[in-house]
Structure 1
Amino acid sequence: MYDLIIIGGGAAGFFTAINAAEKNKNLKIAILERGREVLQKVKVSGGGRCNVTHACFEPSALVNYYPRGNQELLAPFQQFNPTHTIEWFEKRGVRIKKEADGRMFPLSNSSQSIIDCFIEACYQSRIEIIKNTRVESIENVGNEWRLNTIGDKQYQTKKLMIATGSDTAVWKLLQNLDLNIVRPVPSLFTFNIKDERLEDLMGISVENVLCQLGDAKNKALSAFSSKGAILITHWGLSGPAILKLSAWGARALNEANYEFDVIVNWLGKTDTESIRQHLHQQIVNQPKKNVLANAEFGLSIRLWKSLCAAAGIGEYQKWAETGKKHIAKLVEQLTASRLRVNGKSTFKEEFVTAGGVDLAEIDFDTFSLKKYPNLYMAGEVLNIDAITGGFNFQAAWTGGWIAAQNIANSL
Structure 2
Amino acid sequence: MHISIIGGGASGFMAAITAAETFPAAKIVILEKNRTVLNKVRISGGGRCNVTHSPSELRFFIKNYPRGEKLLRKLLTKFDANATVAWFEKRGVKLKTEADGRMFPISDSSHSVIECLLRTAKLLNIEIRTSTSVESFVPMENGGFTLQLGENESLLTDRLLIATGGYPRLGSFDWLEEHRHEIVSPVPSLFTFNTPENYLLPLAGVSVQDTVVKIMGTKHEWRGPLLITHWGLSGPAVLKLSAWGARELAANDYQFICKVNWTPELNEQQLREFLTGERIKTPKQQIASNARFGLPLRLWKAFTETVEIPENLKWVDASNKSLNRLAEVLTNSQFTVSGKTTFKEEFVTCGGIALPDIDPETLQSRSVPGLYFAGEVMDIDGITGGFNFQNAWTTGYIAGKNLGATQP
Q: TM-score range by the shorter chain?
A: over 0.9
TM normalised by structure 1 equals 0.94
Q: Which residue of structure 1 lines up, in the alignment, with residue 10 of structure 2?
A: 11
Corresponding position: 1:245 with 2:241: yes
CA–CA distance in 1 between the matches of 2:211 and 2:17? 42
Q: Please give the secondary structure, in 1, of the residue aligned with 2:115.
A: helix
Counting only pairs closer than 5 Å after superposition, residues 95-244 of structure 1 correspond to structure 2 as 95-142=94-141, 143-168=143-168, 169-195=171-197, 197-214=199-216, 219=217, 222-244=218-240
Q: Is the 8 A contact 1:307 1:333 kept in 2?
A: yes
Q: Is the 8 A contact 2:180 2:367 kept in 1?
A: no
Q: Please give the secondary structure, in 2, of the residue aligned with 1:79.
A: coil
Give the root-mean-square deviation of aligned CA atoms.
1.6
1:171 aligned partner, one-letter code: F
State the shift of 1:348 in Å: 5.1
Runs of 4+ more than 4 Å apart: none
Q: Is the 8 A contact 1:49 1:106 kept in 2?
A: yes
State the shift of 1:372 in Å: 2.3
Q: Which residue of structure 1 lines up, in the alignment, with residue 279 of structure 2?
A: 283
- Percent of aligned positions that are identical: 46
CA–CA distance in 2 between the matches of 1:39 and 1:194? 35
2:28 aligned partner, one-letter code: I
Q: Which residue of structure 1 lines up, in the alignment, with residue 46 of structure 2?
A: 47
Gaps of 5+ in 2: none
Distance 1:178 1:328, change over 3 A: same
TM normalised by structure 2 equals 0.95
CA–CA distance in 1 between the matches of 2:322 and 2:108? 50
Q: Deviations over 1:32-73 (max 9, x none)?
A: 111211111111111222111110332221111111112221
2:158 aligned partner, one-letter code: K
1:51 aligned partner, one-letter code: N
Counting only pairs closer than 5 Å after superposition, residues 338-353 of structure 1 correspond to structure 2 as 338-347=334-343, 349-353=345-349
State the shift of 1:278 in Å: 0.6
Q: Is the 8 A contact 1:57 1:81 kept in 2?
A: no
Distance 1:130 1:196, change over 3 A: closer
Match of 1:399 among 386, 395, 401: 395
State the shift of 1:194 in Å: 3.0
Q: Deviations over 1:118-171 (max 9, x none)?
A: 222222221111222211111111321111121321112221100011342111
Q: Which residue of structure 2 lines up, in the alignment, with residue 332 of structure 1?
A: 328
Q: Is the 8 A contact 1:138 1:147 kept in 2?
A: yes
Q: Please give the secondary structure, in 1, of the residue aligned with 2:107.
A: coil
State the shift of 1:311 in Å: 2.2
Q: Deviations over 1:268-326 (max 9, x none)?
A: 23521111111110122333322212211111111111112222322222222222222
CA–CA distance in 2 between the matches of 1:165 and 1:182? 14
CA–CA distance in 1 between the matches of 2:118 and 2:284? 68
Gaps of 5+ in 1: none
Q: Is the 8 A contact 1:269 1:335 kept in 2?
A: no
Q: Is the 8 A contact 1:190 1:344 kept in 2?
A: yes
Q: Please give the secondary structure, in 1, of the residue aligned with 2:135.
A: strand
Q: Is the 8 A contact 2:167 2:349 kept in 1?
A: no
Q: Deviations over 1:188-236 (max 9, x none)?
A: 111111345304312111011001011xxxx3xx211001000111211
Q: Please give the secondary structure, in 1, of the residue aligned with 2:203.
A: coil
